[in-house]
């Protein structure tokens, strides 16, 4: 009965205090967070342990309420830079307001006064924890940076980060207690450390769920915690699935790109080769790049009946193009060309050559042949077909022996004129014109050339000079020796001689016979 009477007396006293202070003081704390923060109210709603006559809240409930009220004090510190409350009436008013918020959550109507006891614990003063009352006092005592400034600033959702913050808080508490010098104030210094870490240091603020849970030790609702864990798990699952999907997409794209690029390069090379080797007229040379199919149609698939010759480098077939043109198709068996490009370049050069003794090149063909991996294995050259005999007949006329007894070799004719002192008759009149001022004596030079030529064509090989000696004579480095006599053919009456003179018959004063005889 005495305990019940004491409880009633305490309640009446608190009511009288509140009623007497409502007209004087009001609570500066914004306690609306009590109804918004998802803290675990079940710790204060479970069946309370009963003594003989009084119901008291559990220690876990009181600790949760103290942590919840500390969030309001931390917000007050963040906004005003003041630790706790300035006086007892203000503290009492805040406890009453706090109880009203708890009552709205269906908690017992006297649970806050019962847990907190005297409001004096929330009143600050110079005699509490090294005389710290403001944020500036804290900085003056500990400096602008402490362990909690580095450990409690960021997100504390990670257990390792939260553990580091708590350890830093104990170190700062020990330092404050050492500065205060009174061990009995260690609890107050610990509360001050929590308020400073949650209200000033942490960038998310004391109302943040992770900050309230780690720094203030506020129990969070199990539903929210499990929901958060489920959400976290779902997030990780979604992230994992997303990563797998992205990796698969990237892999598929890369595989597709490699296949496409390889195919594109293959098609590009094939198209390039086809475009380079297809039938088209070259503007500068007139040569044509033929397709193998066209040459096969022209030669009846390289039929043996169209075979017209074999050579060291290939086989030649007679063919008829679609326009009726007769051609000779040379299928090259062996060549010195290392690749298609070298062969095509050589064809380019040959196509530009023009000579009366050269059969014009009509075109060429480069084919895959039997091996697709060896592009350009088979090569073909297409010439104009020569219907009147072979190439040798066109390049070299038939050999006709001279039957004119007056015909002589041009070398004999020149030797006779030189020996008779008529060298100027050997020279063409145009060679004796002296029009170049830098070359005042071309006749002497031409005569030197004639003498060297006669020596090199001497009928007696032993009397012919060597190539180096002949070059020296032509360049004037050495003198040309006298022309040695040469034996005449038996029975040949080409010239008459006397003791001191050498003459030549009149019919030999000019070359006679066919030009072919003179060139032999």
Find out whether 331 is annotated in a ligand binding site.
yes
DSSP 304-354: GGGEEEE-SSEEEEEEE-TTS-EEEEEEES--S--SHHHHHHHHHHHHT--
Burial class (CB in 10 A: 0-12, 13-18, 19+), 155: middle
Going by the DSSP 8-state scheme, the letter that residue 383 receives in this structure is: E
CA 21/CA 205 separation, integer angstroms: 31
How remote is the C-alpha of 305 from its chain's centroid? 58
Assigned token pair, 142? 């500990």
| φ, ψ of residue 332 in degrees (nearest 5) | -80, 130
Long-range contacts formed by 405-412: CB under 8 A, 24+ apart: 406/507, 406/512, 406/513, 407/512, 407/513, 407/514, 407/517, 408/494, 408/508, 408/511, 408/512, 408/513, 408/517, 409/517, 409/518, 409/520, 410/511, 410/518, 410/519, 411/454, 411/457, 412/494
Per-residue buried b or exposed e for 269-279, using 16+ beta carbons within 10 Å of the residue's own CB: eeeeeeeebee
> CB of 217 within 8 A of CB of 159?
no
Detail the residues annotated as belonging to a binding site. 331
Q: Which residues are documented as binding site for ATP?
A: 331
């Amino acid at each position: 009965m005495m305990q019940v009477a004491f409880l009633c007396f305490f309640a009446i006293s608190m009511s009288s205090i509140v009623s007497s202070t409502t007209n004087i003081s009001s609570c500066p704390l914004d306690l609306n967070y009590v109804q918004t923060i998802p803290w675990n109210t079940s710790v204060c709603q479970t069946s309370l342990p009963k003594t003989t006559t009084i119901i008291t809240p559990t220690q876990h409930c009181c600790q949760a309420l103290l942590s919840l009220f500390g969030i309001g004090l931390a917000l007050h510190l963040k906004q005003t830079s003041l630790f706790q409350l300035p006086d007892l009436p203000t503290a009492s008013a805040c406890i009453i307001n706090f109880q009203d918020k708890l009552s709205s959550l269906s908690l017992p109507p006297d649970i806050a006064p019962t847990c907190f006891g005297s409001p004096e614990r929330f009143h600050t003063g110079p005699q509490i924890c090294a005389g710290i009352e403001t944020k500036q006092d804290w900085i003056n005592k500990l400096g602008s940076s402490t362990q909690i400034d580095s450990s409690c600033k960021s997100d504390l959702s990670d257990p390792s980060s939260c553990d580091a913050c708590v350890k830093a808080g104990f170190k700062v508490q020990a330092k404050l207690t050492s500065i205060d010098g009174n061990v009995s104030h260690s609890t107050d210094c610990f509360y001050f450390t929590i308020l400073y870490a949650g209200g000033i240091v942490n960038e998310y603020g004391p109302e943040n769920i992770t900050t309230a849970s780690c720094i203030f030790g506020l129990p969070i609702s199990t539903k929210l915690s499990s929901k958060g864990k489920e959400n976290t798990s779902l997030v990780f699952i979604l992230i994992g699935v997303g990563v797998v999907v992205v990796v698969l997409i990237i892999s598929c794209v890369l595989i597709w790109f490699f296949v496409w690029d390889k195919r594109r390069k293959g098609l590009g090379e094939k198209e390039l080769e086809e475009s380079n080797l297809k039938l088209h007229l070259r503007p500068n040379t007139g040569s044509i790049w033929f397709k193998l199919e066209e040459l096969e149609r022209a030669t009846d698939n390289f039929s043996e009946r169209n075979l017209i010759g074999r050579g060291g480098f290939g086989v030649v077939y007679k063919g008829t193009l679609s326009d009726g043109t007769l051609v000779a198709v040379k299928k090259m068996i062996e060549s010195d060309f290392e690749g298609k490009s070298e062969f095509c370049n050589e064809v380019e050069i040959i196509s530009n050559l023009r000579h009366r003794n050269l059969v014009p090149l009509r075109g060429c063909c480069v084919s895959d042949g039997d091996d697709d991996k060896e592009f350009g294995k088979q090569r073909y050259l297409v010439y104009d077909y020569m219907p009147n005999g072979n190439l040798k007949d066109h390049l070299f006329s038939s050999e006709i022996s001279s039957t004119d007894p007056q015909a002589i070799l041009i070398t004999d004719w020149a030797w006779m004129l030189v020996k008779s002192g008529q060298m100027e008759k050997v020279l063409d009149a145009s060679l004796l014109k002296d029009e170049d001022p830098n070359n005042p004596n071309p006749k002497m030079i031409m005569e030197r050339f004639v003498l060297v030529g006669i020596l090199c064509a001497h009928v007696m090989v032993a009397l012919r000079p060597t190539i180096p000696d002949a070059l020296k004579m032509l360049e004037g480095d050495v003198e040309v020796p006298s022309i040695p006599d040469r034996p005449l053919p038996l029975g040949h009456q080409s010239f008459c001689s006397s003791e001191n003179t050498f003459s030549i018959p009149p019919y030999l004063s000019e070359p006679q016979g066919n030009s072919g005889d003179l060139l032999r």
